[in-house]
Amino acid sequence: MIDAGYDGGAPSSWAPLTTAVALAGTVMAAGLLAYILGLVAVWLGRGRTAAVAGPAPAPVGVREASAAVAWTGPLALAVLLAAMYGATAAAFELLRALPITAAGGAGH
């Protein structure tokens, strides 16, 4: 067992707080996974629906839509992943700086 209790200076709410952070991180990771799977499905052409039969009314005063690729979604994903990587790296550096002692019976 590893005790990261700040040499006894951690508040009593430390354990519930870290549990809540872990649960929130799990929910965020699940949401990110769903977003990535949806993005991959769009890239692979899944989710396309069949065209409705019959002519659609033409909108008045609207130009023809261009075939430009939507790049903001993948760019937002890249920024999000970079931010998550940076936050994780910073958290691990913080953890390395903590005074951690081993608790329990390790009779070597």
Separation of CA 17 from chain center: 19
- Name the one residue in this structure whose structure tokens are 């990110």: 32
Answer whether residue 64 is part of any domain: no
pLDDT at residue 2, as a whole number? 56
pLDDT reported for residue 41 = 85
Distance CA 23, CA 12 (A): 19
pLDDT at 30 over 90: yes
Give the model confidence (pLDDT) of 42-86 as tens digits: 888 776 666 566 777 766 766 665 555 677 778 888 898 899 898
Given a cut of 80, whether residue 8 has pLDDT beyond it is no
Is the whole model's pTM more than 0.75, yes or no?
no
Residue type, 46: R
More confident residue, 1 or 82: 82
Quick check: is 28 in a domain? yes
Q: Which residues, in sequence order, are bridge partners of residue 102? A: 2
* Token reading at 50: 């069949």
Residue 30 lies in a domain: yes
Q: Is residue 52 domain-resident?
A: no
Angle, helices 14-43 vs 72-97, to 10°: value is 150
Is 19 within the bounds of a domain? Answer: yes
Q: What pLDDT is stored for residue 97 in this prediction?
A: 73
In a domain? residue 34 = yes
106, pLDDT greater than 60: no
Section 2-19 average pLDDT: 68
